[in-house]
Copies of this chain bind each other. A is one copy, B any other.
Amino acid sequence: MNEQLRADGSLRHLITLENLPRPLIERLLDRAQSLVRPLGARPPVSRALAGRTVANLFTEPSTRTRVSFELAAKRLGAEVVNLEVQLSSRVKGESMLDTVFTLQSLHIDALVIRDAEPGVPGTVAAHVAPHVSVLSAGEAHVGHPTQGLLDALTIRQHKPNFEKLSIAVVGDIRHSRVARSAFHVLRALGVADLRIVAPPALMPEPGEFPGCARHTTLESGLKDADVVMMLRIQTERIAQADLPDAARYYASYGLTSERLALARPDAIVMHPQPMNRGIEIASEVADGPRSVIRDQVRNGIAVRMAVLNEVLAGRSAG
């Protein structure tokens, strides 16, 4: 049913949030919540993963997601190695798996993979030895499961009754792994009113995001929303959306204070970062009182600690 789970129901891989059981999601969120500390406090540190090794396989050296995973692993006592690799299966074929088997033979316990090509984490997970876990850190447009979990945790901290929430996801839904993972986790947690807001050309295929209301104007999409999740727009997508330039995108889809006033008075504003200020979001909103964007980052490391602990610490010693 769900190839990410072990026979005992515990999590082995985390590649997608689709079809993940709600109790497991809630257990991960609960554990992450217990690891959250206020800004300025010491982060939790343990030796729970002492003797374990986590490899970060990223296509670029300096992503913030890489640092978040790296610190999550180190603060649990694991060793971490960073590799810049292109695992793209199309280009390298079996050499992708040879790289993975090499790391496995070096007694690496978890592979954290970011790759621009869809399917790579799943292919790797299908081939590794039983003791190795694969965690997606962003897979093409397909998914970004720890981002989805941190988004859910951030919402829960402010608005714990998911069933009653109206949540608007705004931007380039079509190409967004963040939107897809949010959809999966928020559906599992019972969100009924989940809206996607995008220019027509950046809407997903008709069969995707079932049950979500589709809005092509920001004004209609934001109405009475409890949560506004903004997405990053790639500049090359703006032309694709039949908009002449960034200024025009901002005029139509940028989140300003005025537009935010259409949402509920206590609505929260989220963004996965990095932000294009003045394109998809106004600085006054990004830095304003309803922004929880920095909380998302802080929650992200807690979520990654919870996930690493779940997939690694529960295992028998071998």
* Residues of chain A whose beta carbon lies under 8 Å from any beta carbon of chain B: 37, 39-43, 45, 50-51, 53, 55, 61-62, 64, 67-68, 70-71, 74-75, 79, 81, 83-85, 93-95, 98-99, 101-108, 129-131, 273-275, 277, 283, 294-295, 297-298, 300-301, 317-318
Number of copies: 3
Decide: A42 and B275 in contact? CB cutoff 8 A: no
The docked-state distance in angstroms from the alpha carbon of A104 to that of B40 is 9
Decide: B61 and A70 in contact? CB cutoff 8 A: no
Decide: B79 and A62 in contact? CB cutoff 8 A: no
- Minimum CB distance partner of A294 in chain B: B105
Decide: B61 and A98 in contact? CB cutoff 8 A: no
Seed contacts A71-B106, A75-B79, A107-B298; 8 additional CB < 8 Å A-B pairs? A40-B318, A43-B107, A45-B51, A64-B102, A67-B83, A98-B273, A98-B274, A106-B298
Decide: B71 and A79 in contact? CB cutoff 8 A: yes
- Minimum CB distance partner of A63 in chain B: B83
A257 to chain B, nearest CB (A): 17
Select which of B75, B104, B107, B108 is within 8 A of A37 by beta carbon: B107
A50 to chain B, nearest CB (A): 8
- Minimum CB distance partner of A37 in chain B: B107
On chain B, the residues within 8 Å of A67 by CB distance are 55, 81, 83, 103, 106
A3 to chain B, nearest CB (A): 19
Can you list 19 A-B pairs with a CB-CB distance of less than 8 A? A37-B107, A40-B130, A42-B107, A42-B318, A43-B53, A61-B84, A62-B84, A62-B85, A64-B99, A64-B103, A71-B107, A74-B79, A93-B277, A94-B283, A98-B274, A98-B275, A101-B297, A105-B294, A106-B301
Top 5 nearest A-B pairs (CB, nearest first) are A105-B297, A43-B107, A40-B131, A105-B298, A41-B318
- Minimum CB distance partner of A57 in chain B: B62
